[in-house]
Amino acid sequence: MQPPLASQPHPMYQSPLPGQTPKRSALLWALRFASLFLVLELFLQAMLAALFVGGSVGLLSLHGINAFFITVVVFLCMVLGACYRWVARGPWWPMLLGGLLWLGLFIQEILGYTRIVPLHIFCGVLLITLCTVYCLALFRHVHAPRPCRAAAGARA
C-alpha cells in the first residue's frame, strides 16, 4: 500500500462525497467551542503572567483565579471528549488528548504553586501550543460515527 500523496486529503479529514451532506454532532461542536474557549483562556493567562513579571504584582491573584477556570474548562473538554467517544460514536483521540491536557495542566499548576518559575513558564508555553493544536484538530475533524458493533458483526 502506497502512502497518500501530499495533494490527496488525509483519511481522517475526508470531505463528504458529492451529493452527501456531512453528519453533524452537537457534542463535537460543544467540544470545539470548549477548546476554543480554553485557548482564549490560556492566552489571557499568558498575558496576566507577562504583566505580573513586568511589575504588576497585584495580577498574581488574577493569574491564580484564571488557573482555576482553565482547570474547569480542561476538565470539561475531557468529559466532552469522553461523551463524544461513547455517545456520538466519535474517535478516541479527543478523549485521550483531553485527559493528557488535564494531566499536563495539573503538572503546570504544581510547578506554579511551588514557585518553580522556569519550568512553569516552559510548561505554560508547551500547554498553550498543545491546546492550540488540539483546538485546530477539532475544527478540522469531520464527524463520521463508527458503526455499531451489532451491525458490524451482522455483516461478517
Q: Residue 144 has what pLDDT?
A: 75
Cα 80 to Cα 8, 48, 127: the distances in Å are 31, 28, 19
8 Å CB contact between 9 and 122: no
Element (H, E) at 75: helix 59-86
Give me the residue spans of the domains in the chain. 26-143
Q: How far apart are CA 41 and CA 105, in angstroms?
A: 13
Residue 71 backbone phi and psi in degrees, to 5: -60, -40
- For the record, the C-alpha cell of 14 comes out as 475526508
DSSP 97: H
> For the segment 39-89, what is each residue's pLDDT rounded down to a tens digit?
999 999 999 999 998 998 889 999 999 999 999 999 999 999 999 998 888
The answer to whether 88 touches 94, Cβ cutoff 8 Å, is no
Half-sphere exposure of 143 (CA within 13 A, CB side): 19
The span from the CA of 63 to the CA of 32, in Å, is: 24
pLDDT tops 70 at residue 6: no
pLDDT digits (tens, 9 = 90+) for 92-116: 999 999 999 999 999 999 999 999 9
How far apart, in whole angstroms, are the C-alpha atoms of residue 156 and residue 151?
Answer: 9
